[in-house]
Chains A and B, each alone.
Chain A
């Protein structure tokens, strides 16, 4: 069983050390106070902010719509200071696009706090936030008997594509805006979980 909260490790960029963090459930209150009200309070221009694909997301609303729905899960990664360093919302009732008779987790949205994006803030506070949340979704998928499969839609970005493809995600489709759908196959997910010592 995937139990929350679960311990993860983030990399503190300024101190150049790994630090303990946790991934736990994201509540509507936390989304309002610690994400919507705080994440974009960083010294970046409006132009840069608006280039970020998630700058308009309202996490409080998203969590409010999904809470109490068994098909959905909302997670937050908290650093040692207790701040939310990243968040993810996914559903567990999607159909695998690679294995049509199997289920998969579908990542509805995933983001690290803007202060952790090295193209916005130098230096960023932490690295590894997105990976920690993605790995949590893979663990959850595996524990639910979905084989660790995760399906997601990737905003057009070369680094994201390199990351996902390097992790063994398979391209499902590319739309007219360049957004790529990926799915992590079960065998690759299991190897990743083994490599991370999760199973």
Chain B
């Protein structure tokens, strides 16, 4: 972490994005009561990548155990070319 000299004036403020700037499909999952961070991550992944979602039909997360969810996530990561993060749990 470059923490001595490589820092910046750390205040950034956003704009109100227009409808064209955001995806419409995330609205459908806003307000969803995810049971865990893993569930939330999977919901986001399945929404952000509908083409990948097609490969995993009938994924009712509430019916899956954590091991199955982790396997689902690993498959999605492989398909999307996402390497595991080392600084967290991968």
Contacts and interface: CB of A to CB of B under 8 A. Distances in A.
Interface of A: 1-4, 6-11, 18, 52-54, 68-71, 86, 91-95, 103, 106-112, 116-117, 127-133, 135, 139, 142-146, 152-155, 157, 159-160, 162-164, 166, 179, 181, 193, 196-199
A107 B17 CA distance: 11
A112 B3 contact: no
Contact of B1 (A8, A70, A92, A155): A8
A156 B68 CA distance: 48
A135 B48 CA distance: 21
24 contacts: A3-B88, A6-B88, A7-B87, A10-B1, A70-B31, A70-B47, A71-B26, A71-B30, A95-B20, A112-B11, A128-B3, A139-B87, A144-B44, A144-B45, A153-B13, A155-B12, A155-B13, A157-B9, A159-B8, A163-B7, A163-B8, A164-B8, A179-B13, A196-B1
Contacts of A117: 9-10
A142 B82 contact: yes
Contacts of B83: 199
Given A106-B17, A143-B82, A146-B48, A160 B8 contact: yes
A120 to B, nearest CB: 11
B23 A95 contact: yes
Interface residues of A, dominant DSSP? mixed
